[in-house]
Amino acid sequence: MDLFQKCHIDLLDKVRELDVYPYFHCLESKQAPIVFMEGKRKIMLGSNNYLGFTENEKVIEAGIKALEKYGSGVSGSRFLNGTLDLHLELEHALAAYTGYEEAITCSTGFQTNLSIISAICGKNDYILNDRENHASIYDACRLTYATVLRYKHSDMEDLEKKLQSIPEIAGKLIVTDGVFSMRGDICRLPEICALAEKYGARVMVDDAHGFGVLGQGGRGTANYFGLTDKVDITMLTFSKSLASIGGCMLTSHRVADYVRHVSRPFIFSASMTPCSAATALAALNELEKDQERPVRLMNIAKYFQKELIASGIKIIEAPTPIVPIFTYKTLDTLYYGKRLFDEGVYVNPVVAPACVEGECLLRTTLMATHTETIIDEAVNIISQELKKPSPFE
């Protein structure tokens, strides 16, 4: 068989032919509540810019100054020539803000999960993975020789059964998203930590969508539950609440030192650019000064949910700024996503394999900088378009 035979995807061709292809729309302005995409005004309800810092003047200024001082890149890995005083300052600030002993920064959030899990877990270990965890966690597991056991989403009975099946002498890591990115629900961290203690496992939380959103001053999922001392590793991304690019591992001194010296994805990747590190640090400083910003984010998310429900739109209610709207079928989801885009509202269509067929949805996300006026306009458009029949029904 020709190696490239797999590159012919019938569904992709069909979606393009039907003019409902939803990906790679071109953004021509800052990530903000109102953006310009392909020359037209859109209400942005599909960005992870939760705290709205991408257009913050101090964050932008910090990036410009870093470019002027350090240049455009570091041309090497942290392990060799790529460690800047800026990286160290960011790591110290992140550890202090979240209550961990140490932080390690990586170039992307995806790479952060690869760096942590591939270093920590080996062939005699077991990884217990929530079925709805992020793709980067799944790929990180593939880099290990560990045995991976998937437990049903947030099903603590299933998790305990899996833990009971593991030899007592084996190393065990329970990995969970803090906030699940598709549905916006929060992991059952108190029960996870209790099971970890009962069966001698370690706990890792991917808090990409939790940091800046949950907990006091947006300190994340572990802080939200008062369990920072029970979560052995927390992973953060900077591309969401911190308005930059990169990620970090939060953990103890000993674990951090180990990962720095054995993690191949960390050692053999160039470090964060100066601009990325500076903007993340500036966004963290802004959050520390304005710890009510996550409260404003949740207030506008609650308002959005309330208005959608009042308009008869079926959503998944969750205490986060991720608000999924049910559309069920693949073609219906793509069709309504395209209709909303054409009418001026940008959302993210979620179809298989990101979800189970029959549970497709339009994923919307809020920013602290959204206003009720903007939300009212968006809800009006969503309500009008979703109540129209789909041509694919």
Is residue 297 located within the same domain as residue 216? no
CA dist 287 and 155 (Å) reads 34
Is residue 37 located within the same domain as residue 126? no
The letter for the amino acid at 156 is: M
The band of 3, judged by pLDDT with boundaries at 50, 70 and 90, is very high
Question: pLDDT of 48-96, one tens digit each?
Answer: 999 999 999 999 999 999 999 999 999 999 999 999 999 999 999 999 9
Question: pLDDT of 209-254, one tens digit each?
Answer: 999 999 999 999 999 999 999 999 999 999 999 999 999 999 999 9
Question: pLDDT of 122-132, one tens digit each?
Answer: 999 999 999 99
Query: With contact defined as beta carbons under 8 Å apart, do 42 and 62 qualify?
Result: no
- Percent of the chain exceeding pLDDT 90 equals 95
Q: What is the pLDDT of residue 204?
A: 98
Residue 344 lies in a domain: yes
Is residue 216 located within the same domain as residue 112? yes
Q: What is the pLDDT of residue 388?
A: 94
Average pLDDT over residues 19-31: 94
At residue 36, does pLDDT exceed 80?
Answer: yes
Is residue 348 located within the same domain as residue 222? no
> Annotated active-site positions, please?
181, 209, 240
Residue 128 lies in a domain: yes
Is residue 317 located within the same domain as residue 353? yes
Q: What is the pLDDT of residue 166?
A: 98
Secondary-structure breakdown of the chain: helix, strand, coil percentages, each rounded to the nearest 5 = 45, 20, 40
CA dist 241 and 348 (Å) reads 18
Question: pLDDT of 133-192, one tens digit each?
Answer: 999 999 999 999 999 999 999 999 999 999 999 999 999 999 999 999 999 999 999 999
Q: Identify the DSSP state of 107.
A: S
Final residue of a domain: which of 289, 317, 334? 289
At residue 355, does pLDDT exceed 90?
Answer: no
Q: What is the pLDDT of residue 354?
A: 79
Note down the domain range covering 367. Answer: 3-55+292-386
Query: With contact defined as beta carbons under 8 Å apart, do 20 and 391 qualify?
Result: no
CA dist 371 and 381 (Å) reads 16
Is residue 93 located within the same domain as residue 40? no
Which three-class secondary structure state does DSSP give residue 133? coil
Query: With contact defined as beta carbons under 8 Å apart, do 135 and 258 qualify?
Result: no
At residue 364, does pLDDT exceed 80?
Answer: yes
User: For all residues of the chain together, what is the average pLDDT?
Assistant: 96
Question: pLDDT of 366-382, one tens digit each?
Answer: 999 999 999 999 999 99
Residue 392 lies in a domain: no
CA dist 59 and 274 (Å) reads 13
**Which residues 6+ apart lie within 8 Å of 305 measured at CB?**
315, 317, 323
Residue 391 lies in a domain: no
Q: What is the pLDDT of residue 173?
A: 98
Is residue 67 located within the same domain as residue 204? yes
State pTM to two decimals: 0.96
Q: What is the pLDDT of residue 352?
A: 84
At residue 301, does pLDDT exceed 80?
Answer: yes
Final residue of a domain: which of 289, 318, 353? 289
User: 346: which 2 tokens?
Assistant: 């940008």
Is residue 69 located within the same domain as residue 45? no
The band of 393, judged by pLDDT with boundaries at 50, 70 and 90, is confident
Q: What is the pLDDT of residue 27?
A: 96
Q: What is the pLDDT of residue 104?
A: 98
Q: What is the pLDDT of residue 371?
A: 98
Q: What is the pLDDT of residue 66?
A: 98
